[in-house]
Amino acid sequence: VQLVESGGGLVQPGGSLRLSCAASRLTFSSYVMNWYRQGPGKERGLVATITGAGSITDYWDSVKGRFTISRDNAKSTVYLEMNSLKTEDTAVYYCAAKRGAYSDLRISYDYWGRGTQVTVSL
């Protein structure tokens, strides 16, 4: 199983980016997919989550209204659309997969990508 993130880069404050996470060798629709991020000197934290069917999503408070998580099960890909980016959104962004139901515990996620760097700066 492999998760590969892409779409990171350097963007100015107020700008937008769309991250993708492509999964392989996974029954994708059976997995909850999460996006996490880890900023400089910070712990890795949950950004957004989406159920296997894509019917339920949830977000960390600081990104609500700015970020949107979605998935295309036919392409085994989950997305994170990020708008109105702020300097504090600078981080490495990771996707993670867990079979079955959502869990608060990072350790319960079966598969992780290697991350993609997002830098928000003038």
Rg (CA), the chain: 13
Rounded to whole angstroms, the Cα distance separating 32 from 62 reads 21
Rounded to whole angstroms, the Cα distance separating 121 from 13 reads 6
Task: Supply the pLDDT for residue 37.
Answer: 98
The CB-side HSE value for 77 (13 A sphere, CA atoms) comes to: 15
Q: What is the pLDDT along the chain (122 residues), one digit of tens a residue?
A: 999 999 999 999 999 999 999 999 999 999 999 999 999 999 999 999 999 999 999 999 999 999 999 999 999 999 999 999 999 999 999 999 999 898 888 899 999 999 999 999 99
Task: Supply the pLDDT for residue 33.
Answer: 98
Enumerate residues 6+ apart whose C-beta is below 8 A from 15.
85, 120
Task: Supply the pLDDT for residue 122.
Answer: 93
Rounded to whole angstroms, the Cα distance separating 49 from 9 reads 22
> Three-state DSSP class for 88?
helix
Task: Supply the pLDDT for residue 46.
Answer: 96
